[in-house]
Amino acid sequence: MDRNDVLALFVKAVDGGSLSAAARASGLSLPSVSRHITALEERIGTRLMIRTTRSLALTEAGRVYHLHAKRMLADLDEVEAGLLADAGAPAGTVNVWAPTLFGRVFVLPLLARFLADNPRVSVDVTLLDRDFNLVEEGIDLAIRVGPLRDSNLIVRRVGSLLWVVTAAPGYLERRGAPAAPDDLKDHDCLLFTQPGYEWRFRKDGRTVRPAVRARMRANALDAVVAAAVAGAGLAFAPAWQVRDHIADGRLKIVLRDYEVPPLPINLLLSHTRLLSTKVRRLLEFLARELGARDFSSLPAAEGG
């Protein structure tokens, strides 16, 4: 019995709850199953389970080994299925994560197009504004806006995102425009409250996060921008979201001399997950479509 067969036998024993269940599922005798599991434990030098003919209990090492063995076998099945299937027709489910607003506006419409062109593929989409672990949360493909903290990732850069401070002309006429980030403490600021979204600026060669006075807090960025258009205060928002408002004169940008460089937009994969046909096809599609868009430019006529 080769190594993969032994792994499969171990997984069957754990999932079935006993060596007898593994014997029935594999068509082997009970002594044969016991012998193969013992040989596996001897090879890796640790006990994986405490067992009888009718039940078993995993050790801590056994729980870890079972988790990875099951994942490896699933990945192997997927690779083999992909090799047997037509390379032009990827199949299966892809788990995709993206930031909430960026995902809703840009990623979901692209995924709809991808599904229409790939009828055998399904997607499981999560839109969240928090840090995540691709391996622990079973994510096949993720989109992250901002600096990366994990170097154990495959990264495909697809663009950059500029954030700007904007306000309605009426608000600026009433209250005046802030001349420096420190002036924000005297203004009505409309805050997007999701984790990781801070008002950041460059001053004297360093990044600063000034105190701001919250006139409104919301966990929906489009609501914050709508309040700014209505004249309620200053909003800190991505350029793509306010571009049309600026072009039509509904908003003006302030503090241009203090803007931080645009944030990177990256597609992320984990080195520990096999790149299947379905994931590779979706990666290339999103890289091409997102890479063709401009998330940072502003109307040429806009002043500071």
The domains of the chain, with CATH numbers, are 3-84 (1.10.10.10), 92-161+263-291 (3.40.190.10), 163-258 (3.40.190.290)
Cα separation, 228 vs 251, whole angstroms = 8
Report the pLDDT value the prediction gives residue 273, as an integer from 0 to 100: 57
Question: Which of 256, 250, 237, 228 has its CA nearest to residue 163?
Answer: 237
Strand partners, 254: 165
Average pLDDT, the chain: 86
223-253 core/surface letters (b: 16 or more CB in 10 A; e: else): ebbebbbebbbbbbbbbbbbbebbeeebbbb
If one compares 274 and 263, the residue with the highest pLDDT of the two is 263
Band of residue 69 on the pLDDT scale cut at 50, 70, 90: confident
Band of residue 21 on the pLDDT scale cut at 50, 70, 90: confident
Report the pLDDT value the prediction gives residue 154, as an integer from 0 to 100: 75
Per-residue pLDDT tens digits for 144-174: 888 777 666 778 899 999 999 999 999 999 9
Report the pLDDT value the prediction gives residue 118, as an integer from 0 to 100: 92
Whether pLDDT at 302 is above 90: no
Report the pLDDT value the prediction gives residue 51, as an integer from 0 to 100: 76
| Lookup: tokens for 32 | 């044969």
Whether pLDDT at 85 is above 60: no
Whether pLDDT at 214 is above 80: yes
Percent of the chain at pLDDT exceeding 90? 45
The tally of CA atoms less than 13 A away on the side-chain side of residue 241 is 25
141-159 core/surface letters (b: 16 or more CB in 10 A; e: else): bbbbbeeeeeeebeebebb
Report the pLDDT value the prediction gives residue 132, as an integer from 0 to 100: 74
Cα separation, 108 vs 102, whole angstroms = 9
**Lowest mean pLDDT: which of 11-25, 142-156, 204-218, 230-244?**
142-156
Q: Map the chain to HEC letters.
A: CCHHHHHHHHHHHHHHCCHHHHHHHHCCCHHHHHHHHHHHHHHHCCCCEEECCCCEEECHHHHHHHHHHHHHHHHHHHHHHHHHCCCCCCCEEEEEEECHHHHHHHHHHHHHHHHHHCCCEEEEEEECCCCCCCCCCCCCEEEEECCCCCCCEEEEEEEEECEEEEECHHHHHHHCCCCCHHHHHHCCEEEECCCCCCCCEEECCEEECCCCCEEEEECCHHHHHHHHHCCCCEEEEEHHHHHHHHHCCCCEEECHHHCCCCEEEEEEEECCCCCCHHHHHHHHHHHHHHHCCCCCCCCCCCCC
Cα separation, 188 vs 254, whole angstroms = 14
Cα separation, 13 vs 29, whole angstroms = 13
Report the pLDDT value the prediction gives residue 303, as an integer from 0 to 100: 43
